[in-house]
């Protein structure tokens, strides 16, 4: 229950969190079992006001061009670029620096196809039964459905798992505080890193596919699927819905 795990925000609990409780709180390590950490001096180069203003605009312009793209080119993407994008995601802050993330990169054609078959099977049930009429109607304007061609076509699938707990060298369980928000933040940084190199993705959250995808990818039971990102260059005939973003005045209040 959340009572014994105060770092689990009840509003953020999902079904994967609840099913995890059965194997939680078992032989948890005490913090004193971990080593002391030295603190070292820190500084960053300071930008002039003009330089900071230009950099803030440039970064906004870059990120404002990001779109969820469902039409991905089969063109290959250098593996080292993907490695660096994931290194970047791994710089995210995390609860007590537990780094509770696993990024599973799939490029094998047959494995991508197995992922597609599994996701399409569940998504067809999602759209036809589980999501309900209102949800399906709300999505109609985005023109999505359960057919996910990008899962075969994209050169890479990145499946991001949150580790609900870790294991210490002595075999005891290590508490991964705030693991869901920590991994969510790393996903945001990953999206920015992809945008920075001209790659596209769509933040897909395949409903009810997590447990089967975990088994397909041979991931351990402490890992729960958070996001599935197909990654590649945009297809030359890619289209996106003509969405508009809220202006600053609608998303910011200044006190």
155 vs 206, which CB is nearer to ligand IYR?
A: 206
158 vs 175, which CB is nearer to ligand IYR?
A: 158
CB of 68 to ligand IYR, least distance (A): 8
28 vs 207, which CB is nearer to ligand IYR?
A: 207
C-alpha angle 187-69-185 in degrees, rounded to nearest 5:
10
How far, in whole angstroms, is CA 192 from its chain's centroid? 12
CB of 233 to ligand IYR, least distance (A): 21
Give the residue nearest to ligand IYR (CB).
144
145 vs 167, which CB is nearer to ligand IYR?
A: 145
User: How many CB atoms are closer than 10 A to CB 147?
Assistant: 12
Q: What is the dihedral of CA 189, 135, 1, 174, to 10 degrees?
A: -20
Binding site for ligand IYR (CB under 6 A): 123, 139, 142, 144, 204-207
CB of 182 to ligand IYR, least distance (A): 22
Q: Do the beta carbons of residue 163 and residue 152 sit within 8 Å?
A: no
CB of 114 to ligand IYR, least distance (A): 18
Cα R_g (the chain), whole angstroms: 20
Q: Is 131 exposed, middle or buried (0-12, 13-18, 19+ CB in 10 A)?
A: middle
81 vs 136, which CB is nearer to ligand IYR?
A: 136
CB of 206 to ligand IYR, least distance (A): 6
114 vs 203, which CB is nearer to ligand IYR?
A: 203
CB of 202 to ligand IYR, least distance (A): 8
**Runs of H (alpha helix) within the chain:** 15-19, 49-64, 79-89, 109-125, 132-140, 150-153, 179-196, 210-216, 248-251
């Amino acid at each position: 229950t959340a009572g014994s795990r105060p770092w689990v925000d009840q509003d953020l609990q999902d079904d994967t969190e609840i099913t995890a409780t059965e194997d939680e709180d078992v032989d948890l390590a005490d913090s004193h079992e971990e080593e002391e950490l030295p603190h070292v001096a820190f500084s960053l180069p300071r930008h002039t006001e003009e330089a900071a203003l230009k950099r803030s605009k440039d970064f906004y312009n870059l990120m404002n061009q990001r779109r969820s793209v469902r039409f991905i080119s089969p063109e290959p993407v250098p593996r080292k670029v993907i490695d660096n994008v994931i290194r970047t995601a791994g710089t995210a802050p995390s609860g007590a620096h537990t780094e509770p993330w696993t990024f599973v990169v799939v490029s094998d054609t047959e494995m991508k196809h197995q992922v597609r078959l599994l996701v399409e099977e569940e998504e067809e049930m999602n759209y036809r039964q589980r999501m309900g009429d209102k949800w399906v109607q709300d999505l109609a304007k985005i023109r999505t459905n359960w057919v996910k061609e990008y899962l075969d076509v994209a050169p890479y699938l990145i499946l991001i798992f949150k580790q609900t707990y870790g294991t210490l060298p002595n075999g005891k369980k290590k508490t991964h505080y705030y693991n869901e928000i920590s991994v969510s933040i790393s996903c945001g940084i990953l999206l920015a890193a992809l945008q920075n190199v001209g790659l596209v993705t769509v933040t897909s959250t395949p409903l009810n596919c997590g447990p089967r995808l975990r088994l397909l990818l041979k991931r351990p039971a402490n890992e729960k699927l958070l996001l599935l990102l197909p990654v590649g260059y945009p297809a030359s005939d890619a289209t996106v819905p003509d969405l508009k973003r809220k202006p600053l005045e609608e998303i910011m209040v200044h006190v």
